[in-house]
Amino acid sequence: MQFFPWAALVSLLASQSTNAFNFPFESHQLTESDFGNNSDIVFASSTASTNSSRCKNYPGDADWPSEEKWNSFNASLGGALIKGIPPAAACYNGTYYDADKCTMVKKMQMSTIFTTADPVIPNGQWQLGNPCPVPQSSVSPPLSACNLTSFPAYVVNATSVKNIQLGVNFARNNNIRLTIKNTGHDFLGRNTGGGALQIWTHPLKALEYLPEYEMGQYSGKAAKVASGLEQFELHQYMEKYNMTILAPGSTTVGAYGGFMGGGGFSTVLTSKLGLMADQVLSFEIVTADGKFLHADPEENEDLFWAVRGGGPGNWGVVTSLIVKAYDTLPISQGLIGFQTFPLFINSTSTVQVSEEAFWKGVSVYFSWLPEITSAQGVGWNTLSGFTFNGTKSFTFNGRVNLGGWQKRDAETFMTPMLKDLNAVGINLTSPTVQFYPTYPQQAYVPGGPGEGASNSRFGSHLFPRSTFADATSAQFNASMAAIRSFVEDGGYSFHSVDYTPTEDVAGWPGTNSAVSPHLRRAMMHATGYDVHDSGPQWTAQQQIESHARLNAYVDKWRAAAPGSGAYMNEADTQEPGFRESFYGGNYGRLLGIKERVDPWDVFYVVTGVGSDRWYSEGVKGLPTQQGRLCRV
Ligand SMILES: Cc1cc2nc3c(=O)[nH]c(=O)nc-3n(C[C@H](O)[C@H](O)[C@H](O)COP(=O)(O)OP(=O)(O)OC[C@H]3O[C@@H](n4cnc5c(N)ncnc54)[C@H](O)[C@@H]3O)c2cc1C
Ligand SMILES: *[C@@H]1O[C@H](CO)[C@@H](O)[C@H](O)[C@H]1NC(C)=O
Ligand SMILES: *[C@@H]1O[C@H](CO)[C@@H](O)[C@H](O)[C@H]1NC(C)=O
Ligand SMILES: *[C@@H]1O[C@H](CO)[C@@H](O)[C@H](O)[C@H]1NC(C)=O
Ligand SMILES: *[C@@H]1O[C@H](CO)[C@@H](O)[C@H](O)[C@H]1NC(C)=O
Ligand SMILES: *[C@@H]1O[C@H](CO)[C@@H](O)[C@H](O)[C@H]1NC(C)=O
Ligand SMILES: *[C@@H]1O[C@H](CO)[C@@H](O)[C@H](O)[C@H]1NC(C)=O
Ligand SMILES: *[C@@H]1O[C@H](CO)[C@@H](O)[C@H](O)[C@H]1NC(C)=O
Ligand SMILES: *[C@@H]1O[C@H](CO)[C@@H](O)[C@H](O)[C@H]1NC(C)=O
Ligand SMILES: *[C@@H]1O[C@H](CO)[C@@H](O)[C@H](O)[C@H]1NC(C)=O
Ligand SMILES: *[C@@H]1O[C@H](CO)[C@@H](O)[C@H](O)[C@H]1NC(C)=O
Ligand SMILES: *[C@@H]1O[C@H](CO)[C@@H](O)[C@H](O)[C@H]1NC(C)=O
């Protein structure tokens, strides 16, 4: 972690003007005196000068910048330009061969600490068509081609606002695809693209705690945060300053990149404190014209509205923000587990049950979501089936995350829920509650469980509050049946996080944002995973068929709760009707803002606002990002 000793000086400067930047790395900005004779790095002269050529420039194209141009660009960056070579290139004969590095890559490839620290590769690589797989002797035929063209061509190491501005200007002026990588966790492929110039925001690390902060209708604790911070770093700051701020559920996920841009739910606190986007009071951003702007409810209001929940990577590069902070609070976590096969551990929170009782128990747990969310809690669960000892078997793990609750109160809360489970044959006798005195203490350590780099497809759906309003209704029953079929017939794994980020919870200025209206009405964010990964051993045809099968099962969820959307950050990149499903009624206003602030489509991301004007060439029917980006 990188700390900035200048924080005191910066807060002095910040107090002098509402337009002031937050951190020292933001004081290094691009000015006209930096241009010299290099026309590649100048600001956009006017928004009228859009490039009407059909495709973005791609490596090998006649108009692709020469080595000299890249070198001058690198000089303007002070040497912060990195060539887009994936680490696995070390395993292939040629310029980048390096046996020791290859051994390290083979060992580390599944670690998100490794992929996050790499400037080039995203976490999952099916989104790029798996162009440079780590060779595996176990796979027949051995995978042995490394296609460098499919990765971002160059990466700007974003250590200052100036470098980000240079990157945006160079990409726009040369009509090159631009991508942003923060941690690389994105599931949809919004963080990568073949032949792109990539801005790598990972180095932007800083936090300053503001114990008393006033802005508009907000008065309370706050924090200035740099946009490259990850969950585990926030937990360290929370402990250091004895306060709470919202964070993602896994340690290496970034809090202020994709997580904030798509809404961002906490697996523990969202029914109590809202979404990540709801926490934001102001931010600093480099826009498509290369300018560095401040946005808050009264300045650049459209951008302020769009960036909070209107989709990541589509409006500019956010460099820092001011977010709400809170007192520390205890977390109680009620545990419920049941399975149809024998228990191998001595557990007070898990029991073996009949198959009939199992599915009744799943319904009972979900019938409790209105109570859980009314208590400002969040449901979290996994449900899957597999063959055990020749018999079809099922397992359910549920949690009731109660933010702000003491252990004794949580036990009291859980007791009637257990009675309901007992009534359907789930013999859980007394509540099991894990207690954490503070929010950061309930988290895993970096690289812990749930942190592996995955390469599989999935689908998702938001079930609205109305589904759960009456657990004897046809809508509730249909939803339970669709979930059961997904696991029992489909053979897939189910996971849901159940929360209610209503307008009331969002508060000021959260309510007035581009967060999807579907999220505001949701009670269950359901995700379903394919059993296979989409690795290089699968042909395009196999991947297409496998996805079609998965999608047919997700369609059952959509049919059970129609028109209630999906959460854009954890969704199928081929979600049908994504404009409505991801953005709800906000799409039209967002498109208007997009056309005004980025007429060049500098910030293209798949499934982003206005993205349907573009497609990736040569991707064999897959929704992958390695090809040349062209207009539809
Ligand atoms: C293990 C795991 C756990 C997760 N847990 C949660 C969870 O608890 N709650 C939840 O809501 N989601 C969760 N997610 C989903 C998560 O919100 C998305 O994967 C999100 O895209 C991650 O953002 P990132 O910045 O870390 O990743 P990246 O892949 O680096 O970036 C994702 C997108 O954000 C854009 N972006 C990144 N930084 C910036 C920036 N500074 N300015 C503008 N655009 C930027 C990129 O262009 C890209 O489009 C989880 C994902 C994983 C893999
Ligand atoms: C730009 O100026 C530098 C010296 O400042 C010179 O070396 C270079 O050739 C010039 N480039 C062009 C394209 O004129
Ligand atoms: C648009 O970009 C192409 C390369 O993709 C380039 O040849 C052309 O000169 C550009 N046009 C304008 C008007 O900038
Ligand atoms: C950019 O310059 C730095 C230092 O001058 C150098 O180390 C680096 O390799 C250069 N990057 C590229 C892509 O050439
Ligand atoms: C690399 O080259 C050597 C020698 O020509 C050859 O034996 C080996 O199979 C090659 N490896 C790969 C991964 O292509
Ligand atoms: C990015 O820049 C920082 C600061 O100059 C440097 O420490 C780091 O090594 C660079 N990262 C890469 C991958 O070049
Ligand atoms: C931390 O904050 C909590 C809640 O505001 C308070 O009760 C507690 O005393 C504080 N602890 C320390 C060590 O300051
Ligand atoms: C299971 O755990 C409980 C409580 O820790 C203990 O009393 C009991 O003896 C254990 N039973 C077995 C079979 O290990
Ligand atoms: C597996 O199945 C066999 C035959 O039905 C049974 O005898 C055995 O006890 C089972 N094993 C376990 C661990 O359940
Ligand atoms: C439920 O479990 C308890 C303790 O494990 C046991 O004493 C009781 O007999 C069980 N009840 C039923 C109905 O199985
Ligand atoms: C839903 O299922 C429950 C439990 O099986 C049943 O009692 C109820 O009648 C069903 N509701 C409808 C509308 O079919
Ligand atoms: C590498 O990938 C690019 C983008 O998909 C494709 O155009 C090119 O043909 C590939 N090259 C090889 C050698 O497969």
For 318-370, how does the pLDDT look when each residue is reduced to its tens digit (9 = 90+)? 999 999 999 999 999 999 999 999 999 889 999 999 999 999 999 999 999 99
Identify which of 91, 92, 93, 102 to mutate to test ligand 5's pocket (most ligand atoms within 8 A of the CB). Answer: 93
Q: Is 137 in the pocket of ligand 5 (CB under 6 A)?
A: no
Identify which of 34, 37, 42, 69 to mutate to test ligand 2's pocket (most ligand atoms within 8 A of the CB). Answer: 37
Is the predicted pLDDT of residue 445 greater than 70, yes or no?
no
Distance 394 CA to ligand 6 centre (A): 48
pLDDT at position 443 is 79
Identify which of 345, 389, 393 to mutate to test ligand 9's pocket (most ligand atoms within 8 A of the CB). Answer: 389
Which residue has the CA at smallest separation from atom 10 of ligand 7?
Answer: 242
pLDDT at position 400 is 98
The stretch 522-526 carries a mean pLDDT of: 98
Total count of domains within the chain: 1
The stretch 63-70 carries a mean pLDDT of: 97
Instruction: Tell me the pLDDT of the chain averaged across its residues.
Output: 93
pLDDT at position 452 is 76
As to burial, measured by CB atoms within 10 angstroms (0-12 exposed, 13-18 middle, 19+ buried), residue 137 is exposed
The stretch 419-437 carries a mean pLDDT of: 97
17 pLDDT tier (thresholds 50, 70, 90): very low
* Dihedral-angle region of residue 354 (phi above 0 means left; psi in -120 to 50 means alpha; beta otherwise): beta
With respect to residue 454, please indicate whether it lies within any of the assigned structural domains: yes
Task: Pick 13 or 516 by higher pLDDT.
Answer: 516
pLDDT at position 366 is 98
Which residue has the CA at smallest separation from atom 11 of ligand 4?
Answer: 81
Q: Give the closest ligand to the alpha carbon of residue 194.
A: 12
The percent of the chain in helix, strand and coil, each rounded to the nearest 5, is: 35, 20, 45
Distance 66 CA to ligand 6 centre (A): 24
The stretch 379-390 carries a mean pLDDT of: 96
pLDDT at position 6 is 37
Polymer length of the chain = 632
45 pLDDT tier (thresholds 50, 70, 90): confident
597 pLDDT tier (thresholds 50, 70, 90): very high
Is the predicted pLDDT of residue 47 greater than 80, yes or no?
no
Q: What is the pTM assigned to this prediction?
A: 0.94
Which residue has the CA at smallest separation from atom 8 of ligand 6?
Answer: 157
The stretch 216-226 carries a mean pLDDT of: 98
CB under 6 Å to ligand 9: residues?
Answer: 342, 389
Residues 286, 603: Cα–Cα separation, whole Å: 11
For 144-172, how does the pLDDT look when each residue is reduced to its tens digit (9 = 90+)? 689 999 999 999 999 999 999 999 999 99
CB under 6 Å to ligand 10: residues?
Answer: 427, 429
Distance 288 CA to ligand 11 centre (A): 54
Q: Give the closest ligand to the alpha carbon of residue 448.
A: 1
Is the predicted pLDDT of residue 18 greater than 60, yes or no?
no
Distance 131 CA to ligand 12 centre (A): 8
454 pLDDT tier (thresholds 50, 70, 90): confident
Check if the beta carbon of residue 527 is closer than 8 Å to that of residue 462.
Answer: no
Which residue has the CA at smallest separation from atom 7 of ligand 3?
Answer: 63
Which residue has the CA at smallest separation from atom 1 of ligand 7?
Answer: 242
pLDDT at position 5 is 36
Task: Pick 399 or 448 by higher pLDDT.
Answer: 399
The stretch 81-98 carries a mean pLDDT of: 95
With respect to residue 311, please indicate whether it lies within any of the assigned structural domains: no
Check if the beta carbon of residue 225 is closer than 8 Å to that of residue 256.
Answer: yes
Is the predicted pLDDT of residue 1 greater than 70, yes or no?
no
Which residue has the CA at smallest separation from atom 12 of ligand 11?
Answer: 474
pLDDT at position 12 is 38
Could you give the angle at the alpha carbon of 441 between the alpha carbons of 439 and 447, nearest 5°?
A: 115
With respect to residue 195, please indicate whether it lies within any of the assigned structural domains: no
Identify which of 242, 331, 406 to mutate to test ligand 7's pocket (most ligand atoms within 8 A of the CB). Answer: 242
With respect to residue 539, please indicate whether it lies within any of the assigned structural domains: yes
Q: Is 51 in the pocket of ligand 3 (CB under 6 A)?
A: yes
For residue 123, give the ligand 1 atom closest to its CA.
Answer: 29
With respect to residue 627, please indicate whether it lies within any of the assigned structural domains: no
Distance 115 CA to ligand 1 centre (A): 14
Which residue has the CA at smallest separation from atom 4 of ligand 6?
Answer: 159
Distance 150 CA to ligand 12 centre (A): 7
CATH code, 451: 3.40.462.20
Which residue has the CA at smallest separation from atom 11 of ligand 2?
Answer: 37
Q: Is 69 in the pocket of ligand 4 (CB under 6 A)?
A: no
281 pLDDT tier (thresholds 50, 70, 90): very high
Residues 329, 582: Cα–Cα separation, whole Å: 32
For residue 91, give the ligand 5 atom closest to its CA.
Answer: 13
138 pLDDT tier (thresholds 50, 70, 90): low
Task: Pick 11 or 38 by higher pLDDT.
Answer: 38
Task: Pick 462 or 113 by higher pLDDT.
Answer: 462
With respect to residue 337, please indicate whether it lies within any of the assigned structural domains: yes
Distance 412 CA to ligand 7 centre (A): 26
Q: Give the closest ligand to the alpha carbon of residue 389.
A: 9
The stretch 275-300 carries a mean pLDDT of: 98
What type of residue sits at position 619? V
Q: What is the DSSP string of 150-182?
A: GS-SEEEE--SHHHHHHHHHHHHHTTB-EEEES
Nearest to 206, CA basis, from 67, 11, 393? 11
Q: What is the DSSP string of 520-580?
A: HHEEEEEEEE-SS---TTS-HHHHHHHHHHHHHHHHHHHHHSTT----TTSS-TT-TTHHH
Range of the domain at 557: 331-588
With respect to residue 239, please indicate whether it lies within any of the assigned structural domains: no
The stretch 426-455 carries a mean pLDDT of: 83
Which residue has the CA at smallest separation from atom 6 of ligand 9?
Answer: 389
604 pLDDT tier (thresholds 50, 70, 90): very high
Q: Is 356 in the pocket of ligand 11 (CB under 6 A)?
A: no
DSSP 55: B
With respect to residue 177, please indicate whether it lies within any of the assigned structural domains: no
In the sheet that 317-324 helps form, which strands lie side by side, from edge to edge?
207-215, 218-226, 317-324, 280-286, 292-295
Q: Give the closest ligand to the alpha carbon of residue 243.
A: 7
Residues 442, 412: Cα–Cα separation, whole Å: 21
% of the chain surpassing 90 pLDDT: 88
Distance 346 CA to ligand 8 centre (A): 6
Q: Is 474 in the pocket of ligand 11 (CB under 6 A)?
A: yes
